[in-house]
Amino acid sequence: MAIAVVYRKVFGRTVMEATLLNGAVATGTGEWIDVSGFHEFTIDISGIIAATVDIRCSNDPTRPADATDGRQIQAVTSDASVVIVFPVHWLKARVSGYTSGTIYAYLYGNAPQ
């Protein structure tokens, strides 16, 4: 479940695109990504047939260990888009329950100016 992060310019703004889950087919802890300073961002989750994906956050000053769960923002049990409109420092998606599906989670957000 390695995270891929890309920064690119769109209409003069820097946009962050990150792959949080890439074809997950089992439970897993996910990996933390630094989203400190980002404005509103969206996480698109797809491929859920019978599974639960937790969106987790932490405001610890240093990157938590991936095995650390932090606090839950939302549990998702079907394909969805989750919009985060409050500041957090660290974010991850974790598959907490799995029966079937091939799960993807992508984060899109505007970097601070």
Q: Does residue 4 register a pLDDT over 70?
A: yes
Residue type at 90 in one-letter notation: W
Q: Does residue 2 register a pLDDT over 70?
A: no
Whether the Cβ atoms of residue 107 and residue 16 lie closer than 8 Å to each other: yes
Query: What is the total count of domains within the chain?
Result: 1
Retrieve residue 88's tokens: 């957090």
Retrieve residue 29's tokens: 């802890």
Per-residue confidence band for 1, with pLDDT thresholds at 50, 70 and 90: very low
**Domain hosting residue 88, numbered range:** 4-110
Tens of pLDDT, residue by residue over 54-101, are 999 999 999 999 999 999 999 999 999 999 999 999 999 999 999 999
Q: For position 73, which CATH number holds?
A: 2.60.120
Higher pLDDT, 106 or 5: 106
DSSP code string of 33-97: EE-TT--SEEEEEEEEEEEEEEEEEE--SSPPPTT---EEEEEESSSEEEEE-S--SEEEEEEEE
